[in-house]
């Protein structure tokens, strides 16, 4: 396993599933402490993707320095290894300015890569991917999910049978390396915690009641639709150089909206947009994302859980942040 950054100074990290209140908590911390926020979010890196990513508003971005937001065009990829490199440099620079790095987000692979290191996974192979695509067309993605269950049960258990992108990547890694994808993401059980992990206070926003989070997810997706998610996806499609298989367009909400617009165009002029279907699929996909995020979080024993549905959740987060800042 590649070595994590063992010389990094102490950091405060705030993680949680989508719609758990991370942005509000981070801004509350920033109102009290001299922090700069490092985004730990694989969707916020993309320019022109604001509504569907719940990107902080211009006012929120102006209230405290933010980093790793709007750093890539949607045509480009951004890997966990790139995140570790960029975040490491930022942590040192923020400390050099006499301020505190505050890592905030819900892309758990980024957190684990930063804390624990990440093995060098095989790069994408067009021929292997084409073979897997052909098999999927013949057998269906559920059949390939069943195949993945045989060779990588840990990864298969956290994926839905129709999650084509992640099933494809997991099978690609297996066929190229002979190792399951989960082996690259999991630190050896007997390995000591890295200095980075020991030096980081990780606050995890987790609901006691899943129904509370589900209601928040539905409210947020409704707000995205009202704020123009479909128009945003239309503008991205109108560029002409983006397609549905890009990592950016696979983000929750964008994928469902893209597929809806594809189906609408196929029906021809005058066809009604089934917005109820988009809402149902978008909310369901976001719930599945939140479930995966919580599974990742529960594999991080060093985390300090704050129940985000508790009435005093924000005060609990602030108390932890104050104690951390005092050293």
Instruction: Read off the pLDDT of residues 269-280 as tens digits, 9 standing for 90 and up.
Output: 777 788 899 999
**Residue at token pair 């928040």:** 216
pLDDT tens readout for residues 151-184: 888 888 888 888 888 899 999 988 888 888 877 7
- 87 in helix, strand or coil? helix
- The total of other beta-carbon atoms located within 10 Å of residue 40's CB is 24
Count CB atoms within 10 A of the CB of residue 189: 5
Query: Quick check: helix, strand or coil at residue 304?
Result: strand
- Report percent pLDDT > 90 for the chain: 66
Residue 246 near residue 233, CB atoms below 8 Å: no
Question: Is the per-residue pLDDT at 51 higher than 70?
Answer: yes
Q: Which positions ≥6 away from 326 have C-beta within 8 Å?
A: none
* Cβ 308 vs Cβ 16: under 8 Å: yes
Average pLDDT, the chain: 89
Residue 264 has pLDDT above 90, yes or no: no
Do 53 and 41 contact (CB within 8 A), yes or no? yes
DSSP summary character for residue 54: T
Q: Where are the beta strands (DSSP E) in 53-195?
A: 66-67, 100-105
């Amino acid at each position: 396993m590649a070595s994590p950054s063992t010389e990094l100074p102490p950091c405060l990290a705030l993680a949680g599933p989508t719609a758990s209140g991370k942005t509000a908590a981070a801004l509350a911390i920033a109102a009290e402490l001299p922090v700069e926020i490092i985004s730990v979010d694989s969707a916020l890196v993309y320019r022109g993707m604001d509504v569907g990513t719940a990107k902080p508003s211009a006012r929120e971005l102006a209230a405290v320095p933010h980093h790793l937001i709007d750093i890539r065009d949607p045509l480009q990829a951004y890997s966990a290894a790139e995140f570790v490199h960029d975040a490491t440099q930022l942590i040192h620079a923020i400390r050099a300015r006499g301020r505190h790095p505050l890592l905030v987000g819900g892309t758990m692979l980024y957190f684990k890569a930063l804390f624990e290191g990440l093995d060098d996974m095989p790069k994408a192979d067009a021929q292997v991917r084409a073979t897997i695509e052909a098999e999927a067309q013949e057998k269906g993605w559920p059949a390939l999910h069943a195949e993945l269950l045989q060779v990588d049960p840990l990864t298969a258990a956290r994926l839905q049978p129709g999650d084509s992108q992640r099933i494809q990547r997991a099978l690609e890694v297996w066929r190229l390396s002979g190792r399951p994808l989960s082996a690259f993401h999991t630190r050896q059980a007997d390995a000591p915690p890295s200095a980075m992990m020991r030096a980081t206070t990780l606050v995890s926003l987790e609901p006691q009641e899943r129904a509370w989070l589900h209601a928040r997810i539905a409210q947020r997706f409704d707000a995205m639709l009202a704020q123009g998610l479909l128009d945003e996806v239309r503008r991205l499609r109108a560029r002409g150089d983006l397609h549905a298989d890009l990592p950016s367009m696979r983000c929750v909400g964008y994928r469902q909206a893209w597929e809806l617009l594809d189906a609408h165009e196929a029906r021809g002029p005058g066809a009604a947009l089934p917005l109820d279907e988009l809402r149902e699929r978008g909310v369901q996909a976001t719930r599945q994302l939140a479930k995966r995020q919580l599974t990742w979080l529960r594999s991080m024993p060093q985390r300090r859980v704050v129940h985000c549905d508790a009435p005093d959740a924000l005060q609990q987060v602030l108390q932890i942040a104050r104690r951390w800042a005092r050293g």
